[in-house]
Amino acid sequence: MEGRKRIFSGIQPSGNITIGNYIGALKNWIELQDDYDCIYCVVDMHAITVKQDASVLRKRSLDALALLLACGVEPEKSILFIQSHVPEHAMLNWALCCKTYIGELQRMTQFKDKSVRHADNINAGLFTYPVLMAADILLYQAELVPVGEDQKQHVELTRDLCLRFNKTYGETFAMPEPLIPKTGARIMSLQEPQRKMSKSDPNPNAYINVLDEPQDIERKLKRAVTDCEGLIAYDPQNRAGVSNLLEIYSAMRNIPVERSVELFSGLGYGELKAETAKAVIERFAPIRERYRELTSDRKRLLIIAEDGADKAKRIAQKTIAKVYHKLGFDSK
């Protein structure tokens, strides 16, 4: 829509998303649709930096698309597609790789983390994937990128590449800014609340998935680590477990944390855990039902994916034409 800023964001097809992903990213994606031109993508090309089974990846990519739709992404409001369906991502990636310095990539903290977790598969893609992330953003002339604090480094590299290319070849890309949620950006592990919640945690009680059954959600929150103080207060530094539960409850009920503290004043941890479980179950029940409906009709999902890719290509092809002309890849 004319005059509205454009947003780009992507999500990996990992089979499910945690409540941390939902609160820190997807919940905000849904809310942004009414005020921005949003482009949302299932980043299956990023997924192959670690070993994948082709048939599993294909299924998970469509499942991720279904989950985004179930959470509230609306194709009528936003462009929603699967990354590999738009080859311009790879085309811009190579152009930007040739403008990226090795030292910049060596400083990326996520490469160091993933190298430890995937020591048997430290491939070139794992090293250069931040350039593909930059290509994802710059390809659509995105002005804003919703990210958590731990992803700011990737937007900073994107900005550096944008500035470098524009300075060398003239104005080509829009300069993106990180859009960091003020609250709910970091949901912590239920078992180790000093660490960020992760679906790769070996302890299944440490995280809640959006598609978890109600009894599993209730059980995990009942077992959530708190402390021995017995007093409900919001203090992430010293009372991480209780504060984490208050963050989750507040996000599920769409109220400030301060209001949640008031509601639970004088009550115990048992009540906080039970009410948080109730809030999570009520929020995720319609999402789970919608997801099952969508995944039962794969043809419909493929049509939605194809339509989204067509819309994305119309924007991406304009950027690539401009970039390739400036690089001398055309005959004009």
DSSP bridge pairs for 10: 41
Q: Is 282 helix (H, G, I), strand (E, B) or coil?
A: helix
Paired tokens of 89: 């991502």
Look up residue 245 and give its amino acid: L
Per the listing, tokens 């279904």 go with 66
Look up residue 27 and give its amino acid: K
SS3 labels along 316-330:
HHHHHHHHHHHHCCC
Backbone angles phi, psi at 42, to 5 degrees: -90, 110
Q: Are strands 37-42 and 6-11 parallel, antiparallel or unpaired?
A: parallel
Backbone angles phi, psi at 39, to 5 degrees: -120, 115
Task: Catalytic residue, from 59, 199, 318, 326: name it.
Answer: 199
Whether residue 114 lies in the annotated active site: yes
Whether residue 196 lies in the annotated active site: yes
Active site residues: 114, 196, 199
